Amino acid sequence: AQSVTQLGSHVSVSEGALVLLRCNYSSSVPPYLFWYVQYPNQGLQLLLKYTTGATLVKGINGFEAEFKKSETSFHLTKPSAHMSDAAEYFCAVSGAGRRALTFGSGTRLQVQP
């Protein structure tokens, strides 16, 4: 069975600082991995996805994620946080015969001025 673990339910950074949101997955075969962002009172918006190929995936709004098979990780980073990045971020996995996305519990990012 697939599962996703997001370390840290809340992360706080200063504006301009590095953003690092952690995601580890468990899957018996290479999965499809996604990061979504949710702003208050809205649905989820796709930030980026990993399927196969390059291990560094670039997404929207300056975010990127690195797929590390040896560590079963797919951490999300952004070099410089902006106030508008404050939101909740979800890591998700699918594939390997499982059609539905399995989401992590989410990480709420707070950006301090």
Task: List contacts with other proteins (CB under 8 A).
Answer: 32, 34, 36, 41-46, 49, 51, 90, 94-95, 97-106
For residue 99, the minimal CB distance to other proteins (Å) is 4
For residue 56, the minimal CB distance to other proteins (Å) is 17
Helix (H, G, I), strand (E, B) or coil at 41: coil
* Beta-carbon count within 10 A of 59 CB: 18
- Output 40 or 113, the one with its CB closest to other proteins: 40
Q: Are 104 and 82 in contact (CB under 8 A)?
A: no
Paired residues of 7 in beta bridges:
22
